[in-house]
Structure 1
Amino acid sequence: MKAVLGRPAPPTPLTVPARPRAAPSRPRREALAAAVVVALAAVLRLAGLAHTPLDPFYDASVRSMGGSAHALLVGAFDPSSQLAIDKPPVDLWLQVASTRLLGFSPTALLLPAALGGTLAVAALYDLLRTLLGHRVALAGALVLAVLPVAVITSRSDTMDSVMAALLVAALAVAARGLRRARMVHIAVAGALVGLAFEVKLFEALIGLVPLAVMWWLGARATRRRRLAGLAAAGAACAAVGLAWLVALTVLVPAGQRPYAFGSTHGSAWEATFVYDGWDRLAGLHPPPVPRPTGPIRVRRAGTLASARRRTAQEHRASVLRSPAAPGPLRLLSGQAHLGARLGVVLVAAWAALLALGLLGARRRLDLDRTGRAGLAALAAWLALGTLLFSAQHGLRPRYLEAFDPAVAACLGAGVVLVAGVRAGRLRPSAPGARAALAAALLLAVLAAPTATTVAAIRGHVQDSGAPGGLPSARLARLTAYLRADQGTARYETASVAVAKAGPVIARDGRPVLMLTGTWGRPLVSTRRLAALVRAGEVRTALVGDSCTALSPNRWDGCSAPARWIRAHGVDVSAAAGQPHAGFVYALGPAAPARRAPARAASVTRHDRRRRHVAHRRHARRRHRRRALSRAAAGRRGRRSGSARSARSS
């Protein structure tokens, strides 16, 4: 009818079918997969971090550097800035910042290393994606995320994980500038390697070799420009790497510089280039062991022969905890668990490289110049790390962080590229055949290392060591005694060994008089120590090591300050809650008087147990004596009764 009236009919509404949701684009899928791998790395490095044991040596320095700007600059070990650590304090600055934000706790101390290990995984993904594509990058990042030795080091109180993150970041930055041969990229990469040198010194210089190989083979420029890029990287590395040493020399007067631990003359340059440089390669050469001067005291029940056997057993146990002697199979040995934590993956990485070499010889790998240069750089990095750490004296598992990324990258690249060629030969039309075969091979190789990683996390394993570490209850009793006895003295205590002072400084943050340095070299003369004791500046001293044939550290135990303390002090170890004699000494004229009340006030759980057992023993004896006396009285009563009856009859 509306049409009849001349009005137009309204349009019929049309039902628009719902548009199907588009599948996520390939870049989004790649970013999501990379995020999952990085998140896995973060979980493995952060889970249960608060229960991991700490390293008192570096924690004491973190506590001291947080007290003043001078201590922060010079890397002081003690709050009075008398002694400095043996390395630049760049990594410890991160720990100082973390403890300022989160408080002085295990989580705050370990957080920079855990984050550094996580960032190393992300940087390795970016490096491999630039060189060899997304699949290789994902595989290499996954290997590094679950690699046991990398996870354990990232959960340890050490700076190796931060150094590894900087090395991988340097290579990633340089890789982004290969196609256009940008000089700024290679210069920034050199600066990052120099910053890694500031963190862990010569261990970081391993990254210069793959950096130079990748730039020389992959940069699309003339030979002169490539040489100029390497020169710029070397100059940037030297400028950044020596920045702290130069600033310490120029800005801090000689009289205000602390004595550098590890040096023979107190120089930070000597500690850097000799103690932490050449000596780490050729092996430490300590001075001759001092001759024992005191009698052997057997601490536990047993004879002198049993004490010698216990010392030999402890030495064998410490040897088993250290890596094997230098040799071609050292990284596969069971000592220090290197075979399970690295050796399996290292063998797989070399096998993958060998397979890639055979395929490359047959020209079946479709790689451009950047990819070939990246593979050559990774292979050089892996070879250098394997040779160096197989021959280095005094190896520690945490040092392996300098080439862990190369192990992961070579294994990931080898598995993905070899699987791609095999899948292409077998079933070229099957969708996803390459990815499925690569995933199967990678999971088969990583099954055992992943189980080792999970077990290490559950066991709170760390490889930073705990020199001088004490149980928490024993340390609490010791520091309580030292604080109560300090009074108006300047120093909380004096310490013969650096390791003995570390836990006390890390807990209390008070000045401690350091008496010796490396290998028992005196930092304070006995005349100076006597003057400080007479002035009331120091009232107690920590010794611990004896000067006998069974002492594990005779350099400190037989040093001049240790002998002076034993001759002029009074042993108050029991009063300070320590189970062994010779650990804590009271100094000064009032030392004998301070021993008795403190010992009477110190009642440990062992003392209470011993008193309880003695009380029960005495109670049983009294009960037995009373029973015997009652029985004897009964017998006497029966005999007297029978005698009376006999007389009456």
Structure 2
Amino acid sequence: MHEETPRWARPAFWGVLALAAVLYAWELGRNGQANEYYAAAVYSGTQSWKAFFFGALDAGSYITVDKPPLALWVMGLSARIFGFGPWSMLLPQAAAGVASVAVVHSAVRRSLTGAHARTAALIAALVMTLTPITVAITRDNNPDAILVLLLVTAAWLCLEAVRTGRLAALLAAAVFVGLAFNAKMLQAYLAVPALGLAYLCVARGGLARRVRHLLAAGAVLVVSSVWWVVLVDRWPASSRPYIGGSTDNSVWNLVVGYNGLGRIAERAETARGLPGFEGLRGFGGFGGTPGAGRLFNATMAGQISWLLPLAALLLVAGLVLAGRRSAVQGALVLWGCWLVVHFAVFSFSRGTFHPYYTTAMAPAVAALVGVGGVLVWRACQHSRFWIWVAAAGVGGTGAWSSAVLRRTPDFVPWLSWAVAGAAAVAVLGLIMRPRLVFGVRVRARRRLGAVTALATAFCCLAGPAAYALTPLISPVRGGDPTAGPRAGSWGGQWGMFRGQAQPSALARSMPWMRRGGLAQPMIGYLERNQGGATWLVAVASAHTASSAILSTGRPVMAMGGFSGRDPAMTVGKLEEYASTGNLRYVLVGDATGPRVTGRGGRGGLSPELTGWITAHGTPVHPSEYGYASGGTLYRIG
């Protein structure tokens, strides 16, 4: 029999989606090009289909970005249709965020029955919408928003396969994980144990049947993951871009190394190029020191940790309360395993780690709070034990939220006390409610229930909501977007990575102010003298190249890729580019961006390259373009 939808359910659902749309898309244009590294690749893809397919940083297709191109394709198609700009590039990201909220809502709703299903789904959708790091990264052009949408779609399909036992749904889930691999490589596979365990433990049919289905899904996953990898690696290296981030111009090397073990294992070379971190091993990137407490430290706590303890408690409680081999058990196994795997990898990985990676945890946290919260609430109607469990969860969440807010006392200073007060009201309401039984106290019981529910919602969501609003006020730019006040240990010289600082009015008024990582007069000189060369200039790293690409609209060669250390350029290649006239100028020793000195040369160039340039090139005197930049410009062709 078809269940009747409560009158409040649809308006509430559309209200949450509207809230998500506002948080993710309000004044996106103020974010400019967001992460210029990916923005340059999106722009280059609008100028060249070759650059589009390979995900090249420049329209001349010299080197790719350090990720597969699926997310760039989404943004690039939008930019080709509507013209390149902040809105055309970033709006698909915002749309992906809203769609992810809708998919999580549907997945949770279909895992339960009755009016409680709608309640759980609404809670999950609201929690995911208000996750601060999700708001920040969805307003950015990193691939994570597309990654999350593909993975939650895979989870939805897997839960359908668990519920119905249909192989087709499981195979479709594998396809979407494969697509997610082509957005961010091995991070997509962190969801695979959750999908596999849920189907193996809970799906219909015998064990042998479930194992056969999983093997078939594994084969589909491999094919849908590696088709682009195989095609690119079989493409003649002489007629495609160098694979950025790899050490041997191979996508396989990029998958296993830079975007694989390099994100988990110690990478001393990552730290050696950064000021103040020379020789330091296992520094953990920009999210703090590896360990069980990483996601609760000063940098990470306000991004994802607000409801993590509550989600863990509700996972255990939900598994106790759920029926065996039921749809709700499948949901708890899937989202619980998803959360545990991501928590372990993100907490203990000793390679490069950025706070925005944790947006992949948001669907699991949201689903567990929704499903587990409803199960515990139902159990509270019949057992005092579960009342105390609920009170512990709400009280603990309120206490942790208040503690996180007190770390930044200048940020909405009254909110931490309001959260603590709401938590106290909610706990008292939960404990007192069973004492108000039938008869004359029915009305009081209902009123207390409403007050308790409102206090619970406030103490759980007020902190994340306050942080989630900040990206609407402050532009989200740079390579490491976050939400909330600028707390933690990454100020000072690291402000450039936070992407929040803007040039002062004085700096903007100076005629020698750098544009695109290069001085404006130098840019003008290069544009006047490029001639028939493919590239405007060659520079050491993508930090300078991407900015110059966006400011000039012309291809700029990043000889050393993202960090300036990729072995993409050789003396032989440089000689060929110079002799054919495809490259006329090289900038040596440019000091913009993070100081990465690569293999011992100047500005990221190897001694061999620097030696060839200085021996065969002609220095351009600064008087020819009116300003002495941080490096030396050589004419080589």
The normalised TM-score by structure 2 is 0.75
Alpha-carbon distance between aligned partners in 2 of 1:434 and 1:288, rounded to the nearest angstrom: 53
Alpha-carbon distance between aligned partners in 1 of 2:238 and 2:275, rounded to the nearest angstrom: 43
Alpha-carbon distance between aligned partners in 2 of 1:180 and 1:137, rounded to the nearest angstrom: 20
Q: Which residue of 1 aligns with 2:568?
A: 523
Change (3 A) 1:119 1:271: same
Alpha-carbon distance between aligned partners in 1 of 2:623 and 2:99, rounded to the nearest angstrom: 48
> Does residue 258 of structure 1 match 2:241?
yes
SS at match of 1:282: coil
> Does residue 69 of structure 1 match 2:49?
yes
Q: Which residue of 2 aligns with 1:324?
A: 288
Q: Which residue of 2 aligns with 1:120?
A: 100
Alpha-carbon distance between aligned partners in 2 of 1:126 and 1:566, rounded to the nearest angstrom: 62
Q: Which whole-Å deviations, capped at 9, do the CAs of 1:574-619 have from their partners, x for residues lacking one?
A: 86576x7333514259xxxxxxxxxxxxxxxxxxxxxxxxxxxxxx
**Pairs within 5 Å for 1:490-569:** 490-517=534-561, 520-526=565-571, 529=574, 532-533=577-578, 537-545=582-590, 552-555=596-599, 556-557=603-604, 559-560=606-607, 561-565=609-613, 568-569=617-618
Change (3 A) 1:254 1:542: closer
Alpha-carbon distance between aligned partners in 2 of 1:288 and 1:29, rounded to the nearest angstrom: 53
Q: Which residue of 1 aligns with 2:633?
A: 585
**Pairs within 5 Å for 1:472-487:** 474-475=514-515, 477=520, 478-487=522-531
Residue pair 1:122, 1:141 contacting (<8 A) in 2 also: yes
Residue pair 1:157, 1:464 contacting (<8 A) in 2 also: no
SS at match of 2:269: coil
Measured after TM superposition, the shift of residue 391 of structure 1 is: 0.5
Residue pair 2:28, 2:86 contacting (<8 A) in 1 also: yes
> Does residue 183 of structure 1 match 2:140?
no
SS at match of 1:541: strand
Residue pair 1:56, 1:467 contacting (<8 A) in 2 also: no
SS at match of 1:520: coil
Alpha-carbon distance between aligned partners in 2 of 1:350 and 1:577, rounded to the nearest angstrom: 62
Change (3 A) 1:371 1:474: same
Change (3 A) 1:370 1:99: same
Change (3 A) 1:143 1:528: closer
Measured after TM superposition, the shift of residue 515 of structure 1 is: 3.1
Q: Which residue of 1 aligns with 2:310?
A: 348
Measured after TM superposition, the shift of residue 440 of structure 1 is: 3.5
Measured after TM superposition, the shift of residue 101 of structure 1 is: 2.1
1:255 maps to a residue whose letter is S
Q: Which residue of 2 aligns with 1:105?
A: 85
Residue pair 1:536, 1:588 contacting (<8 A) in 2 also: no
Alpha-carbon distance between aligned partners in 2 of 1:468 and 1:30, rounded to the nearest angstrom: 39
2:537 maps to a residue whose letter is T
Residue pair 2:590, 2:632 contacting (<8 A) in 1 also: no
Change (3 A) 1:137 1:100: same
Alpha-carbon distance between aligned partners in 2 of 1:559 and 1:313, rounded to the nearest angstrom: 21
Question: C-alpha root-mean-square deviation of aligned residues, in Å?
Answer: 3.5
Measured after TM superposition, the shift of residue 342 of structure 1 is: 1.3
Residue pair 1:571, 1:581 contacting (<8 A) in 2 also: no
Change (3 A) 1:284 1:574: farther
Q: Which residue of 2 aligns with 1:457?
A: 472
Alpha-carbon distance between aligned partners in 2 of 1:523 and 1:199, rounded to the nearest angstrom: 23
Change (3 A) 1:377 1:453: same
Change (3 A) 1:419 1:574: farther
Change (3 A) 1:525 1:174: closer
Q: Which residue of 2 aligns with 1:275?
A: 258
SS at match of 1:542: strand
Q: Which residue of 1 aligns with 2:394?
A: none
1:42 counterpart (21, 33, 36): 21
SS at match of 2:538: strand
2:376 maps to a residue whose letter is V
Change (3 A) 1:121 1:248: same
> Does residue 333 of structure 1 match 2:297?
yes
Alpha-carbon distance between aligned partners in 2 of 1:128 and 1:434, rounded to the nearest angstrom: 24
1:581 maps to a residue whose letter is S
Residue pair 1:75, 1:89 contacting (<8 A) in 2 also: yes
Q: Which residue of 2 aligns with 1:216?
A: 200
Change (3 A) 1:434 1:543: farther
Across the two proteins, how many residue pairs are aligned to each other? 534
Q: Which residue of 2 aligns with 1:57?
A: 37
SS at match of 2:253: helix
Q: Percent identity?
A: 29
Pair member with larger Rg: 1
2:290 maps to a residue whose letter is P
Q: Which residue of 1 aligns with 2:346?
A: 389
Measured after TM superposition, the shift of residue 126 of structure 1 is: 0.7
Measured after TM superposition, the shift of residue 314 of structure 1 is: 13
Change (3 A) 1:420 1:562: farther
> Does residue 231 of structure 1 match 2:278?
no
Change (3 A) 1:210 1:341: same
Measured after TM superposition, the shift of residue 192 of structure 1 is: 0.9
Alpha-carbon distance between aligned partners in 1 of 2:475 and 2:77, rounded to the nearest angstrom: 24
Structure 2: tracts of 5 or more residues without a match? 384-433, 439-444, 481-495
Alpha-carbon distance between aligned partners in 2 of 1:352 and 1:234, rounded to the nearest angstrom: 31
Alpha-carbon distance between aligned partners in 2 of 1:166 and 1:243, rounded to the nearest angstrom: 17
> Does residue 378 of structure 1 match 2:340?
no
1:210 maps to a residue whose letter is A
Alpha-carbon distance between aligned partners in 1 of 2:448 and 2:382, rounded to the nearest angstrom: 8
Residue pair 1:41, 1:145 contacting (<8 A) in 2 also: yes
Q: Which residue of 1 aligns with 2:129?
A: 145
Q: Which whole-Å deviations, capped at 9, do the CAs of 1:521-540 have from their partners, x for residues lacking one?
A: 55344465356557654343
Measured after TM superposition, the shift of residue 194 of structure 1 is: 1.0
